[in-house]
Amino acid sequence: MRALWFKRPVLILGAIVILFYLGLIVKSGHETAVGTVTDPDAGRIIKRFSDLEEGINKLYNVMQDFGQKQDAMQKMLADGKTRARTPPENKSTPDEKHKVFPDSALFKKWGDNLSEDDQKEAQALFEKYGYNVFLSDRLPLDRALPETRDSRCVNSVNKSYPKDLPSIGVVLIYLNEALSVIKRALRSIIDRTPKNLLKEIIMVDDNSSNENLQGDLDLYVKSLEQENPTISFIRVRHSEQRGLSYARASGWRAATADVVAILDAHIEVQVMWAEPLLTQIKANRTVVVSPVFDRVNFDDLEVINYVASAQAFDWALWCMYESFMPEYYKLKDDSLPGKSPSVMGIFAADRKFLGEIGVLDEGMKVYGGENVELGIRVWTCGGSVEVVPCSRIAHIERSHKPYLPDLSIAMKRNALRVAEIWMDEYKHNVNLAWNLPFENHGIDIGNITERKHLRERLNCKPFKWYLENVYPKLDSWDNLLAYGGMKNLDANMCLDQGPVPGHTPIAYNCYYYGPQFTYYRANGELYIGGIKSHKYNDNRCLTDTGSKETEPGLFNCKEAMQKGMGINWDFTQGKELKNKQTKRCLEITKGQLLIQECSGQRWEIQHIIKASVWPTGS
């Protein structure tokens, strides 16, 4: 049993997985959006997410009213988790032995009939790009996409769009994207955007090294220019890699149309993608809109319908999907735009309005945080963000990102930058989410003078307003007293969440990673193994389960409370940890974590949040 625990820190560190180039991230580790369990490997998380989407779709179609939809969303998250943990089926077809890469994600369900040479070629391309370039190269550039829109979007009786819509400029950002994928994006935009609306296509190359993104792409763009004399094709090339924010902003600078749509290059737009977005912006120039991204599988490139959801984030500023606010579902019309706390990297906005509010924070590095920054800025500085279900863009979800081994470094730095500029007294929550010290995180976030001035000049509302009015689902964590590893000073061991799934915390040698992170709240709750960013996710509370039991428990707080278990603890730094209800203490005897009569064992928690609000003890 013990040997198992030894490897955990490494697994947790390895468990951060990115699903979208620009946005959707499912993070695992001490805080996860979809459950309480830590996932040790990337593949399972990706599988979990695809299960999860299928789950959403199935449930969504049968559910009618809002309440059920909310429950369904929760259930589907839980189900996705459970199913993701079941090992893949043992397919022992005769073809199996011809698989050159039996462990490659590319060949899990695709490529059974390929020759060995083709498999090798496909695998090499897959490793380089993170999606199936071999197949992309063989599919028509103008392939048809399945209809994924609500029938009310399609039927002009139910919805019609004004004739005099603003013009649109499309910005495509790319870095070492496959040529056929970019071509298909261009083809779809040209074929599926009304000619009278599409003013320009701006292609921003963030210093790709692929040779065919120069000569071959140039030739293709030339042919498009000849075919489409009314559209301007603008090329922007960076002589060094500048990261997402800068790349998007340089696309914006090159634009002249009324509205800019900033897209990834691994997309195909659906018919009538632009009209619903432009209609919203025409009605109110301060709204920033996002289409719904249908998923294109990285292996077979099939398009999977995505349910429209809000684009949200946690306190580490990883992006995630979430249900809309309850009012949305009361309207019972899935074709209506829904308010969203943030965007996920693909959005459209009035070009001038975006400029007035500061486009994007170009002090961001590489990747991460920029979407959340935009969301908070738009909302607090006078605009709003909406997801528009009638606008659909099919987007390839890569299996892996080819160009950067660990995005979490840039992500953390950018998140702290957003916190410092925008989050006022809540900025410390970002430190907490990244398990950094409460006050001085010691990470260089760059020069924020200009962005601070922007916030003042625009007279933006406080972050507290945003939390209360736009994103009340985010738990403000305002009654936390202490966090970090919790060490028993007498036994010299730490509190650890123990086997997962499971309900028994253990004593273990201190290593201070996810499974040993604890959070102590002013109401006496003590969480082990993580804290949830969202109010709809329950934390796991240390519990005294009953008078005879000597093993402590670790249960969802609400469940434990309903069962009358003791989940509130008295604790003062360097003193005993005593259950308020049973007056028994958490102690360690012979390496065993036990609930017993208090003998005065002392505990110490890593970070204290505010000495001034620290209780005087019992």
Ligand X SMILES: *[C@@H]1O[C@H](CO)[C@@H](O)[C@H](O)[C@H]1NC(C)=O
Residues near ligand X, by CB under 6 A: 90, 92, 113, 151-152, 155, 157-158, 205, 207-208, 237-240, 284, 286, 383-384, 447, 449-450
Residue 22 near which of ligand X, Mn ion, none (CB within 5-8 Å, type-dependent)? Mn ion
Nearer to ligand X, 120 or 237 (CB): 237
Whether residue 310 contacts residue 471, with contact meaning beta carbons closer than 8 Å, is answered with: no
Q: Is the four-CA dihedral 251, 255, 260, 264 of positive or negative sign?
A: negative
Within 10 angstroms of residue 591's Cβ, the number of other Cβ atoms is 12
Residue 93 near which of ligand X, Mn ion, none (CB within 5-8 Å, type-dependent)? none
Sketch the per residue contact string, 9 through 28, with Mn ion: x for CB under 5 A, - otherwise: -----------xxx------
Nearer to ligand X, 24 or 343 (CB): 343
Q: Give which of 433, 615, 428, 585 is closest to 524, Cα–Cα.
A: 615
Closest distance of CB 280 from ligand X, Å: 10
Measured CA angle at 536 (ends 535, 537), to 5 deg: 90
Residue 90 near which of Mn ion, ligand X, none (CB within 5-8 Å, type-dependent)? ligand X
| Biggest CA-to-CA distance, the chain | 85
Nearer to ligand X, 103 or 597 (CB): 103
Residue 157 near which of Mn ion, ligand X, none (CB within 5-8 Å, type-dependent)? ligand X
CA distance 280 to 165: 10
Closest distance of CB 597 from Mn ion, Å: 57
DSSP 356: H
Closest distance of CB 56 from ligand X, Å: 20
Closest distance of CB 152 from ligand X, Å: 5
Within 10 angstroms of residue 577's Cβ, the number of other Cβ atoms is 23
Stretch binding Mn ion (CB under 5 A), from 259-267, 280-288, 306-314, 375-383: 259-267
Closest distance of CB 352 from ligand X, Å: 15
Closest distance of CB 64 from ligand X, Å: 13
Residue 230 near which of Mn ion, ligand X, none (CB within 5-8 Å, type-dependent)? none
Residue 589 near which of ligand X, Mn ion, none (CB within 5-8 Å, type-dependent)? none
Chosen residue from 264, 294, 525, 544 binding Mn ion by CB under 5 A: 264
Residue 20 near which of Mn ion, ligand X, none (CB within 5-8 Å, type-dependent)? Mn ion
CA distance 42 to 38: 11
CA distance 367 to 344: 12
Nearer to Mn ion, 303 or 495 (CB): 303
Closest distance of CB 83 from Mn ion, Å: 25
Q: What are phi and psi of 399, to 5 degrees?
A: -80, -40
Residue 314 near which of Mn ion, ligand X, none (CB within 5-8 Å, type-dependent)? none
Nearer to ligand X, 251 or 529 (CB): 251
* 37 in contact with Mn ion (CB under 5 A): no
CA distances from residue 550 to 179, 285, 519, 529, 595 in whole angstroms, order as listed? 63, 62, 22, 21, 5
Nearer to ligand X, 241 or 550 (CB): 241
Nearer to ligand X, 280 or 543 (CB): 280
Closest distance of CB 539 from ligand X, Å: 33
Nearer to ligand X, 1 or 157 (CB): 157
Closest distance of CB 414 from ligand X, Å: 17
Nearer to ligand X, 330 or 610 (CB): 330
Residue 21 near which of Mn ion, ligand X, none (CB within 5-8 Å, type-dependent)? Mn ion
Q: Give which of 493, 499, 558 is closest to 525, Cα–Cα.
A: 558
Closest distance of CB 295 from Mn ion, Å: 11
Within 10 angstroms of residue 332's Cβ, the number of other Cβ atoms is 11
Tokens of 456: 């003042």
CA distances from residue 506 to 510, 524, 528, 593 in whole angstroms, order as listed? 11, 20, 10, 5
Nearer to ligand X, 113 or 440 (CB): 113
- List all residues 6 or more positions away from 209 whose beta carbon is below 8 Å from its beta carbon: 176
CA distance 427 to 421: 9
Q: Give which of 223, 133, 128, 118 is closest to 180, Cα–Cα.
A: 133
Report cis status (omega within 30 of 0) of the bond before 501. yes
Tokens of 494: 């730490």
State the virtual CA torsion across 597, 500, 406, 51 in degrees, nearest 10: -150
Q: Give which of 304, 303, 298, 302 is closest to 123, Cα–Cα.
A: 298
Closest distance of CB 110 from ligand X, Å: 9
Residue ranges in contact with Mn ion by CB under 5 A: 20-22, 264
